[in-house]
Amino acid sequence: MSLRVCFKPATVSIFRRQFVPSTSFISSQTRSYSILDKATMSSSAPAPQRRFQNPAVFVCDIQEKFRPAIHEFDKVIATTSKLLRASSILSLPVFVTTQNRARLGDTVSELKPHLATATVKADIDKTRFSIHICVTQTALDLLQAGHKVYILADGVSSTNKEEVPIALARLRQAGAVVTSSESWIYELMGDAAVPEFKGIVGLVKDTARETKGSLGGLVGSKI
């Protein structure tokens, strides 16, 4: 019951500091000079790039029938809502699933306004446990397929809260990155110069109270 993000390793843009090489080095008895190529000096700075180049967001089975059963379900919804808003700002593809919608109900009403956007690429009903029972099976399948998987700890839960740290430890051991929603959003951008930065800062401020509540209720000292 939750969110995760993934992308192919080959598409990851690694954030490196770039140093401009000198074209020549002249030495005398008293001093040294580093001479920069004129073309390098006159060229403009490169356009800012996001740290992750091909991410996708998965929202798994956040349905009405699970509302009374899942620990801190309202906090899962709050984090999902924030991530969907961030996905809209950043134009991230979103994939939504439900498990046996006819019996377990549709995606919760609180998320519906955020699903009516162009960034939602699929809203799929299914019966398979992968991307249901649960995040663990989904993440393991994605890892096996060669994706890099991030689990947002303030957006996952279970009927038994004690199961969450066990699952997160297993996923971390399998190669997934366990992090928080806000940390992942900023890591994705990687540069305050990206055009969407201002919108994300506004979102983070707007959801600060909910973020604190989700971290306290769903994460605490569990990871």
Q: What SS3 state is found at 126?
A: strand
- Which residue out of 8, 126, 161, 222 is catalytically annotated? 126
What tokens were used for 171? 């996923």
Residue 126 annotated as catalytic: yes
Residue 222 annotated as catalytic: no
Q: Which of 105, 56, 31, 82 has the alpha carbon at shortest distance from 218?
A: 82
Q: Which of 177, 132, 188, 129 has the alpha carbon at shortest distance from 151?
A: 177
- Which residue out of 6, 60, 61, 82 is catalytically annotated? 61
- Which residue out of 6, 75, 134, 148 is catalytically annotated? 134
Letter string b/e over residues 152-167, b meaning 16 or more CB atoms within 10 A of that residue's CB: bbbbbbbeeeeebbeb
Burial of 135 per CB tally in 10 Å (0-12, 13-18, 19+): buried
Give the Cα separation of 33 and 27 in Å (integer).
7
Residue 206 annotated as catalytic: no
Active site positions, annotated = 61, 126, 134
